[in-house]
Structure 1
Amino acid sequence: MRLLFWSSFGVVVYAYIGYAAWLWLLVRLHKRPVLRERAVPFVSIIIAARNEEATLPAKLANLRLLDYPADRLQIIVASDGSTDRTAEILQENAPAVLPVILSESQGKATALNQAVHRATGDILVFFDARQSVEYDAVSQLVSCFADPQVGAVSGELLLETPSERPSGEALGIYWKIEKLVRKLESASGSVVGVTGAIYAIRRSLYTEIPQGTLLDDVYIPMHVARCGRRVVFHPEAIARDHVSTEKGKEFSRKVRTLTGNYQLLRLEPWLLSLKNPLLFRFISHKLLRLLVPMLLIVMLITSALAGGAFYHAIFSIEVLFYLMAALGGLGTPIRRFKPIAIASTFVVLNAAAALAFCNFITGRNKVWAR
């Protein structure tokens, strides 16, 4: 029991702290900077949209403010079987925007593929319809391709409260930790995935995405890495989003993302072989976190059964932690106490991982989720 407890504890600590510590050490020993230069290659901006009439006008207005030369920029938006005014809005904005209208919904992956087929740019820049991007976002992404080893570049997503301040909630803290890991991965080689709201790749490295794929922002960069190119994180290329105040929305997004990780293993079994140049990073960053919910249950049970005052104390601490998480679920006022907010968020994220596993084995994969 004690061996099982400490083995589980060790994996959990490594998944959230140990891997970041290893990357930090690797950066200190062998940092790999990225060559950046101002350049203006022809760029195709790719957006897949489904029922985005509420956000699309603001997004198109946002893109008109980009500082990139208009004659070196192509904007393609694919409407994936939208049932609202999305297709009409796109047609109204032609020819500044090249609309790709799919009469029936086939999923985001298919919409992206169809848009890329019409792209003429040397660099493909992928944005989502919901978030706004900084005026220099494209220029910042493109500057990294001056390095011939770079095949894909991820930008940074800033989560903000409705007051337009960076989120101080526990979810914001989790996202800061995630971005720290990505920065360390980039500085030491390649990141495992990119920020779906803002990333770019060389057109020659684009791989057709299988229909129904949930995580294009992992599928595409992993294929770029397989081609021997780096996937880097550039925090000066910025997209902004608001933390959703709609109950359950952020949880649904997390479930979708984690379900997508399971799906990738079925779609691309080479990810768990030596054909994957980022195998160690993929396991450490993506897969171990999927195991954490089960390991937490093992820790709770084994600490209860191990016997002795020390393990009884650990069991009591675990129970207290989960009680704090439960209190955090009661509402906003009590979540202002940061330990409760952190405990609640940690448990919710791992509940999302558990639900993602259930979704995967039962085939309940959602292709579109905002």
Structure 2
Amino acid sequence: MASRTRRRGAEHGARGGSSRRHAPEHRARAAAPRRRRVPMRLLLPCLVLVALMAMLMLRGYVHSEILADHRVRPAAASDKVPEKILEGGPVIDTRGGRTESLSLSDHRLVLTFDDGPDPEWTPKVLDVLKKHNAHAVFFVTGTMTSRHPDLVKRMVDEGHEVGLHTFNHPDLSYQSKKRIDWELSQNQLAITGAAGIRTSLFRPPYSSFADAMDNESWPITRYIGQRGYLTVVNNTDSEDWQRPGVDEIIRRATPKGGKGAIVLMHDSGGDRSQTVEALDRFLPDLQAEGYKFENLTEALDAPSAHSQVTGADLWKGKAWVFLVRASDNITSVLVVGLAVIGFLVISRFVLMLLLSGIHARRVRRKNFRWGPPVTEPVSVLVPAYNEAKCIENTVRSLMASEHPIEVIVVDDGSSDGTARIVEAMGLPNVRVVRQLNAGKPAALNRGLANASYDIIVMMDGDTVFEPATVRELVQPFGDPRVGAVAGNAKVGNRDSLIGAWQHIEYVMGFNLDRRMYDMLRCMPTIPGAVGAFRRAALERVGGMSDDTLAEDTDITMAMHRDGWRVVYAENARAWTEAPESVQQLWSQRYRWSYGTMQAIWKHRRALVEKGPSGRFGRVGLPLVSLFMVLAPLLAPLIDVFLIYGLIFGPTQKTVVAWLGVLAIQLVCAAYAFRLDKERMTHLISLPLQQILYRQLMYVVLLQSWITALTGGRLRWQKLRRTGVVEAPGGPVPSQRSAGTRDGDRRPVG
């Protein structure tokens, strides 16, 4: 992960006249339509997201709640239902155009169990049946079969019959034929995947006795018969779903006068302990009276209802069961992830609120001093690559500094005249150093070599400082233990929605974090937009490194490992131009995320280092890994389970929990805005930020993980700038000397 990355210089190699010699050919190629391929590093995280969502939705679908059959029996049906059906037995055969009703002979009982299989109660029912050498028919739902296929296989292996009870238990009287076909086929698919068979038995949900058949259910029964199924209702109902007591279940399940019967019981849908206990008494008692407990086809002296399935249909069923099991396993992992992110979010918020408050009170005390005031001049390094739109505002803001400075603009091979703009300004104490494009770390090292002073301030070419920024930034160096200082970076172009979201992120996510990390003495990053370093500390760690794409994080971790303190100066404000499009934001955060991973990997040995320098490894590195890498990766689970809860329930609890998390975030954000003395109006967009922005950051981080794990290389990607962030107080006249005071007004945006 920490291998050297390609520098951005490769992106800007051949320029100039050579391209003009082939202009016609070039234009012809440009005019031809180009097929834009989705990069694999972008396609993979999207596919992972889609797969996870599909697994979660599948899990929710097959875990839909199944209710017991306890509807009130309707009145007798009209003459549209044949009399022989209303007055006939509990088995209705409408296959092949027939309209027949079948009953069981005396002393023949068929026990039927609905709504299973249940992982707790079905095995106990099967154990009792096996104990008393009895068979039964289990009318299973597709959802429960998909979740517990081993139980269905056990039913078949132990000689019981299984029948369809639809996939997810709807009242078929209110469904279209297309939905009925789907319910039957999916139920059959689950049974095939579980036991490798097809069954011709069917029991409608919410069914009752044959004489309860009405005008709505009779057409459904005929249609199902046309599909090749034998409809089985019942003529003895134990009503065990009511839990009336063991004796009452036995009384209701016992047929009168030694007649044959189909007995309705349940092995799922709630507490079935009374059913199991009643069954253990019911079976031997009636067997002693000469009753036989058989499968339905045995009791009817008919061919078996089961047929073996082979070939593609069998593999389709097995694939379905596999996917359902996979969805269960993946969801279990996601639930653990949700618990982890919940713990991390709450822990981080508690730490931020507590430690940030302590930090603010400490540094805002009237008698607080880092040490002797720092008044000596400092060198300000401004690495610039194609910053023509921003560089003038940047340099003029420095000329208004209240602290004596020299400015070194390092032009890193710009092709837009950045260096010429600075030179044409003719400002005192401003030098331009030119170099071939070599990347930001090389530009900063070049500036360091040309710097005149012992304190080095670094800023980006698209950033503007307030007059007091440099003075506030360098005061912590009054403490000889301080090797680097992080400033307060702010978003200047916050008028757009995406700018407002980044503004919230900077104030809440970055600056509140920095207060916390300062108190823990493990600051992970000196922002490239505003940071200061002790020259001796920089030289001891070897200067800026190009081993990673997050050179600011890399150098900060190196400072910690060298034993220096890294602190936060809240009043050293800098205004930077944030990306103004999703694509630009994606590119920036992709580089940040990947670079942070590289830096963590590069400095992993800090975990085992001892002494004061090992504090960062013991505290900082784990916290950075948890809060900056793992937590953002898991954070979207909050929203994923929000969608899951809204669809599959419990809806009210889900909404309350999500709103609770949002409320905690709002409290933290409001506190951060109060500490930074920012207006609260931008927090109006916080809920939308949490829904949309977090998902974008998640995909970016997932893409970074994939790039890292696959050994991919990421090049530096230059962001397009607009120059909308102006110097505090507006443009500074060219004749203004360094150190001239200006109003402490904020820039546009």
TM-score (normalizing by structure 2): 0.42
Q: Aligned partners of 1:5, 1:155: CA distance in 2, in Å?
A: 37
- Which amino acid letter does the alignment assign opposite residue 394 of structure 2? K
Alignment match, 2:550: 215
1:46 positional shift: 0.9
Within 5 Å, give how 1:5-20 maps onto structure 2: 5-20=334-349
Distance in 1 (alpha carbons) for counterparts of 2:652 and 2:356:
40
Match of 2:616 among 278, 282, 305: 278
Aligned to 2:430: 97
For 2:489, the aligned partner's letter is L
Which position in structure 2 is the counterpart of 1:366? 715
1:284: Cα distance to partner?
1.8
SS in 2 for 1:82: coil
Match of 1:113 in 2: 445
Cα distance in 2, alignment partners of residues 114 and 80 from structure 1: 10
Q: Secondary structure at the match of 2:556?
A: helix
- Find the counterpart in structure 1 of residue 119 from structure 2: none
Matches within 5 A, 1:122-137: 122-137=454-469
AA aligned to 1:369 is: K
Q: CA deviation at 1:23?
A: 5.4
Provide, for residues 251-272 of structure 1, a one-character-per-residue CA deviation record: whole Å limited to 9, x for no partner: 2211111011122134434244
Larger mean CA deviation between 133-142 and 188-197 belongs to 188-197
- Cα offset, 1:98, TM superposition: 2.3
What 5-or-longer segments of structure 2 have no aligned partner? 1-328, 662-682, 720-749
Structure of larger gyration radius: 2
Following TM superposition, by how much is the alpha carbon of 1:96 offset from its aligned partner in structure 2, in angstroms?
A: 2.8
Equivalent residues of 1:293, 1:351 under 8 A apart = no
SS at match of 1:209: coil
**Which residue of structure 1 aligns with residue 591 of structure 2?**
256
Q: Report the CA distance shift for 1:209/1:15 in structure 2 as closer, same or farther (over 3 A).
A: farther
In the TM superposition, residue 24 of structure 1 has moved relative to its aligned partner by 4.9
| Contact 2:355–2:515 (CA under 8 A) maintained in structure 1 | no
Contact 2:388 2:418 in 1 (8 A): yes
Match of 1:86 in 2: 418
Q: Deviations over 1:77-129 (max 9, x none)?
A: 111121120232344447632222112x1111111111111112111101111
In the alignment, residue 278 of structure 1 is paired with which amino acid? F
- The answer as to 2:522 corresponding to 1:172 is no
Moved more, 32-41 or 205-214: 32-41
Mapped to 2, the partners of 1:365 and 1:175 lie a distance apart of 24
The Cα shift of 1:144 comes to 1.4
Supply the AA of the counterpart residue of 1:156.
Answer: N
> Any idea what SS the aligned residue of 2:615 has?
coil
Match of 1:339 in 2: 687
Q: Is the 8 A contact 1:152 1:230 kept in 2?
A: yes
In 2, Cα distance between the equivalents of 1:60 and 1:297? Answer: 41
| Contact map agreement 2:501 2:685 (CA 8 A) in 1 | no
Provide the rounded CA distance (Å) in 2 between the counterparts of 1:14 and 1:204. Answer: 41
Q: Cα distance, 1:167 vs. partner?
A: 8.7
Of residues 3-12 and 56-65 in structure 1, the stretch that sits farther from structure 2 once superposed is 3-12
Which letter maps to 1:35?
R
Distance in 2 (alpha carbons) for counterparts of 1:281 and 1:43 = 29
The alignment partner of 1:343 has SS state of: helix
Cα-to-partner distance string for 1:157-212 (whole Å, 9 max, x where unaligned): 1224455x999833332322222121122134342212220010111000322235
Any unmatched runs of 5+ in structure 1? 322-334
- Structure 2 partner of 1:329: none
Residue identity matched to 1:176? V
- CA displacement, residues 232-276 of structure 1 (integer Å, 9 cap, x when unaligned): 111100011344333422222111110111221344342444364
* 1:230-309 equivalent positions in 2, closer than 5 A: 230-274=565-609, 276-279=614-617, 280-292=619-631, 295=634
The amino acid across from 2:616 in the alignment is: L
Q: Contact 1:290–1:353 (CA<8 Å) still a contact in 2?
A: yes
Q: Is the 8 A contact 1:32 1:187 kept in 2?
A: no
Q: From the superposition, tell whether residues 134 and 145 of structure 1 become closer, same or farther in structure 2 (CA, over 3 Å).
A: same
Q: Matched residue of 1:171: which SS?
A: helix
Is 1:148 paired with 2:483? no
Select 1:35's aligned residue among 369, 374, 387. 369
Give me the whole-angstrom Cα distance separating, in 1, the residues matched to 2:521 and 2:711: 36
Change (3 A) 1:190 1:341: closer
Does the aligned pair in 2 maintain the 1:265–1:271 contact within 8 Å? no
Secondary structure of 2:484's aligned partner: strand
Query: Whose RCO is larger (CA < 8 A, sep 6+)?
Result: 1
- Aligned pairs, how many? 347
Task: Tell me the distance in 2 between the aligned counterparts of 1:247 and 1:221.
Answer: 28
Match of 1:54 in 2: 389
d(CA) in 2 for partners of 1:5 and 1:314? 16
* Distance in 2, Cα, partners of 1:338 & 1:225: 34
Q: Give yes or no for contact 1:109–1:214 (8 Å, CA) kept in 2.
A: no
Report which stretch shifted further, 178-187 or 119-128: 178-187
Contact 2:489–2:506, Cα closer than 8 Å, also in 1: no
Single out whichever of 336-345 and 109-118 deviates more from structure 2: 336-345
1:369 shift after superposition: 3.4
- How far the C-alpha of 1:344 sits from its partner, in A, is 0.6
Contact 1:51 1:82 in 2 (8 A): yes
1:282-334 Cα distance to aligned partner (Å, 9 max, x none):
32234554234654688869x98xxx97699769x99xx9xxxxxxxxxxxxx
- The 1:369/1:286 distance shift into structure 2, 3 A limit, reads farther
Is the contact made by 2:394 and 2:463 (CA closer than 8 Å) also made in structure 1? yes
TM-score (norm 1): 0.80
Distance 1:23 1:115 in 2: 36
The one-letter code of the counterpart of 1:254 is R
8 Å Cα contact 1:150/1:231 also seen in 2: yes
- Whole-angstrom distance in 1 between the partners of 2:629 and 2:600: 12
Checking the alignment, whether the CA contact within 8 Å between 2:524 and 2:620 is kept in structure 1 is yes
The alpha-carbon distance between structure 1 residues 273 and 351, as it changes in their structure 2 partners (threshold 3 A), is farther
2: CA distance, partners of 1:32 / 1:336:
30
Contact between 2:537 and 2:564, CA under 8 Å: does it hold in 1? no
- In 2, the alpha carbon distance for the partners of 1:40 and 1:167 equals 39
Distance 1:363 1:155 in 2: 32
Task: Give the CA deviation at 1:362.
Answer: 4.4
